[in-house]
Amino acid sequence: MGWTFVGYAEVNPYACAVLAARCGATRPKYMPYAEHAYLMDESEGLLARLNELSRGNGNVVQRYSEQPLDFENLNRFQRVEAYERFHETVWKQAAKELRKREELLRLHRRTSYEVIGAVPNFGDIWSITDDDLEALGPVDLLEGGSPCQAFSSAGKEAGLIDFRSALMLAYLDLVERMRRINGLKWVLWENVKGVLGDNGNGFGHLLGRLVKERGTAVGRDGLRYANAGYVSGPDGSVAWRVLDSQHFGRPQRRERVFALGYVGMGPARRDPRDILFEPVGEGSAAPRKKKPREEAALALSGRSAGDVPRSERLAVFMAGQTKAAFSIAESRTVCPTLRSVSSGSNSVPRVAYALDEKAGRSADPSVAAPHYVVRKLLPLEAERIQGFEDGWTEVQVNGQVMPDVPRHACIGNSMTVDVMRWIGQRLDEAMDAGVEGKAA
């Protein structure tokens, strides 16, 4: 599409290996610190940031307490107890983060891969300096998705006191610095649908900071944001929308929030609604072209409709999933959401398929029937469901092909190619015709 990527920020060694092999990225320049004292300082800094965003420590405690809390009606002793419980929760999060960082650094030390490109991978997003940004030159678009686990119904929903989701704050800092240093115009942020109902109003923090530099959160505590909306302020405007991969030609039930913001300075202000929304009557983003019952079989097999036998009416399901995780027990049209979890029964969807014509089109197929086989989704099939080229994650790590588990994690952590292409094409159309050298 004519875009040039001028930098990345990734610390997972397997994802770094894919970026190095497919996108010419370097090894991470910065890694997160894994010292206890440093994590304590980070926790204090995070609390200070949340205080600033929430207009007071009482609001922070109330927002992120594990139990509903009417802070204003507590007596002095109850407030002290509430503060202590809250800080204990924060320190627990810091201890978990320390263990994860220690394991990450150990994993990096025992992981090797070839690097042939020179596009900088900055690694830890908190550590990117102004000098790093100045070396990039003009940048049109900053795109990314901060870790989603703490906003997900499949996770603990800890919100911004979870260090992973707190990376959203680093992302917002980067937006403001790149706006000043690189002339940044557009921001595209992606996350799970659960962020729209985060107890700590994390999505409101994102919107508030994008439309006003150092701004406070829009909305209020307990607000459940609509699946699509728009906010405008003195320094930018943001449109957001929930997009589902199954509506873009990929048989995967994958609902994600995409927030597109225009943060460029100067009089030539653009409206992100023109890109993310369609006019009334235009129809869905990408109407299906295949019959629903063919979609799963076609996507997984990579074959045309005429080459798929009637017996291969695939049933795709997620073993062990819970109702709260919005899973489906069995489907012949779409796959459950691909996830980045590397262990447990929820990590990789299962596929049930018939071995011969006799077991083909039963009205109620049973995965335990003699003529059916159940197996995990293959990385190749997961790549197809996400819209990647076959073998995109089949790269060399430690002298051999990357194992299936980290390949699935890389794929599940990514964004569906068809959805990103649709946004990119509409963004292209909105930018000046003939402008080349667009940088992201």
DSSP 282-311: S--SS---S-HHHHHHHHHH---GGGS-TT
* 136 three-state secondary structure: helix
Q: b/e map of 245-266 (b: 16 or more CB within 10 Å)?
A: bbbbbbbbbbbbbbbbbbbbee
Residue range 75-98: mean pLDDT, rounded: 76
The predicted-structure confidence for 94-105, as pLDDT tens digits, reads as follows: 888 889 999 999
Q: How far is CA 37 from the centre of its chain?
A: 29
Could you give the CA distance from residue 435 to residue 440 in angstroms, rounded to a whole number?
Answer: 14
Residues 6+ apart with CB under 8 A from 334: 246, 251, 252, 253, 295, 296, 316, 328
Q: Are 206 and 215 in contact (CB under 8 A)?
A: no
Give the model's pLDDT for residue 431: 77
Q: What is the pLDDT of residue 174?
A: 95
Q: Please report the pLDDT score of residue 212 as a whole number.
A: 93
Mean pLDDT along residues 79-84: 72
Mean pLDDT throughout 3-10?
95
Give the catalytic positions in this structure.
Answer: 148
Of residues 126 and 312, the one with the higher pLDDT is 126
- CB environment 314-330: b (16+ within 10 A), e (fewer): bbbbbbebeeebbbbee
22, containing H or E segment: helix 13-23
Q: Where residue 56 falls among pLDDT bands split at 50, 70, 90?
A: low
pLDDT at 331 over 90: no
How far apart, in Å, are the Cα atoms of 74 and each of 51, 70, 78? 19, 7, 6
- Cβ pair 156, 113 in contact under 8 A: no
Cα–Cα distance, 401 to 353 (Å, whole number): 27
User: Which pLDDT score, from 0 to 100, does residue 325 have?
Assistant: 43
Residue 214 DSSP symbol: T
Terminus-to-terminus CA distance in the chain, angstroms?
Answer: 12
With a cut of 60, say whether residue 370 has pLDDT above it.
no
Going by pLDDT thresholds of 50, 70 and 90, the confidence category of residue 88 is: confident
What average pLDDT does the segment 393-400 reach? 97
pLDDT at 6 over 90: yes
Inter-residue contact 257 to 190 (CB < 8 Å): yes
- Amino acid making up residue 132: D
Query: pLDDT-derived band of residue 324, with 50, 70 and 90 as boundaries?
Result: very low
DSSP 373-424: EEEEPPHHHHHHHHTPPTTTT--EETTEEPPHHHHHHHHHTS--HHHHHHHH
The alpha carbon of residue 381 and the mean position of all alpha carbons in its chain are separated, in whole angstroms, by 20
Counting other chains too, the contacts that 388-393 makes at CB distance below 8 Å and 24 or more residues apart are 388/414, 388/417, 390/302, 392/18, 392/22, 393/18
Tell me the average pLDDT of the chain: 78
Q: Does 329 score more than 60 pLDDT?
A: no
Phi then psi dihedrals of residue 135, to 5 deg: -70, -20
In this structure, the chain runs to a length of 440
At residue 285 the predicted structure's pLDDT band, cuts being 50, 70 and 90, is: low
Q: How large a percentage of the chain has pLDDT more than 70?
A: 67
pLDDT of residue 326: 44
Quick one: pLDDT at residue 311? 56
**182-238 per-position pLDDT tens digit:** 999 999 999 989 889 877 788 888 999 999 988 888 887 678 999 999 999 999 999
407 pLDDT higher than 60: yes
Q: Are 8 and 19 in contact (CB under 8 A)?
A: yes
Q: Which of 146-150, 185-189, 409-413, 424-428 is predicted most confidently?
A: 185-189
- What is the structure's pLDDT at 344? 44
pLDDT at 142 over 80: yes
What are 336-347's pLDDT values in tens digits? 677 765 444 445
Residue 401: exposed, middle, or buried by beta-carbon count in 10 A (0-12, 13-18, 19+)? middle
Report the distance separating Cα 426 and Cα 350, nearest Å: 35
Amino acid 46 reads: L
Q: Among 264-278, 365-379, 398-412, which is the least confidently predicted range?
A: 365-379
From CA 13, how far away is CA 398, in angstroms rounded? 11
Report domain extents, the chain: 3-281+420-439, 292-337+339-376
Which residue has better confidence, 150 or 351? 351
pLDDT digits (tens, 9 = 90+) for 223-279: 899 999 999 999 999 999 999 998 888 878 899 999 999 999 877 788 999 999 987
Q: Which residues, including other chains, have CB under 8 Å from residue 411's CB and lie 6 or more apart?
A: 338, 379, 382, 383, 386, 388, 393
Q: Does residue 435 register a pLDDT over 80?
A: no
Consecutive H or E run containing 244: strand 236-244
Class of domain 3-281+420-439: alpha beta
389: pLDDT strictly greater than 80: yes
